[in-house]
Amino acid sequence: MIRKGWKKNGCCFAEKVRNCFGRGRCSNLMTPLSTRARTGRVKVCKVTGNRKVCARMASMGLYPGVEADVICSETGSQCLLKVNGGTISLDSDVSDNIFVTSL
């Protein structure tokens, strides 16, 4: 059962998963998070991969349009992100599927 008003505000979890691929949300300067060699503020443009990866990222609060802080970043290694007051550690395979742009 879906509560009234959830779809209007875009707060529904299923809606976030449906919008996972982020069509037309960012400029052409998108890069995979794994190739980003510096720290700073980023905006998530799209999340690629299968539905399971997309749903997992959305459940952790990482979906298109979200702004995050890259704390520790080395090209091709693990990456730490601060999202919505929490810290997420992503391995290189998962961070290959997350496309971001600098803010």
Q: Identify the band that residue 5 occupies on the pLDDT scale cut at 50, 70 and 90.
A: very low
Residue with tokens 């510096």, as numbered in its chain: 38
Q: Which amino acid is at 42?
A: V
How far is Cα 40 from Cα 52, in angstroms, rounded to an integer?
Answer: 28
In this predicted structure, the answer to whether residue 37 has a pLDDT above a threshold of 50 is yes
In this predicted structure, the answer to whether residue 93 has a pLDDT above a threshold of 70 is yes
In this predicted structure, the answer to whether residue 83 has a pLDDT above a threshold of 90 is yes
> What pLDDT score does 16 carry?
63
In this predicted structure, the answer to whether residue 49 has a pLDDT above a threshold of 50 is yes
Q: Give the pLDDT mean for 19-24.
A: 56
Domain ranges within the chain, ordered by starting residue: 11-22+30-102
**Residue 21 DSSP symbol:** G
Tokens representing 29 are: 């300067």
Name the strand (E) or helix (H) holding 15: helix 13-18
Topology of the domain covering 11-22+30-102: SH3 type barrels. (2.30.30)
